[in-house]
Structure 1
C-alpha cells in the first residue's frame, strides 16, 4: 500500500511547483487539501521566504487561489 502524502510533503511539492512556474499546482493543492483533512487541520502554513512572489500582492493572490480550491493559507512569521 502506498502511504498518503503528509501535509508537509504536499507543501514541499507546492513550493517546487511554484518554482517551476506553477506546474501541476492544482493537483498539488488537491493533495494538500486531502492531507489537511486526514490530519484534522484547518489551514496550511507556508514560509513566505520560500515563495517566488514574496510580496503582499503575491501572498494575497496565492491565498485567494488556494481558497477557491478549498484550502486556507496562512504564512509563518519569517
Structure 2
C-alpha cells in the first residue's frame, strides 16, 4: 500500500499570512461554538440518583454519597466488562 501524503504548496510569506489569518478566523469560530456547546451542556437538567449504590473503596464498602466526602461534585467513570 502506498501511503504517500500530498504535501501542501510552497507559497510566499504574504500568501501564508493570508492563509494563516483565514485559519485563525475558523479556529476562533470553532472555539466559540465549542464554548457555547459546553455552556449549554452545563445547563442541562439533572436527574436525582435514588438508588442506594455501594462501591468497593480502599477501606471497604462506601456509599455514593460518601464518595463525595463533602464536595459538591464527583466525577464517576464507568467501565463495562
TM-score in terms of structure 2 length:
0.22
**Higher RCO (CA < 8 A, seq sep 6+):** 1
Higher helix share goes to which structure? 1
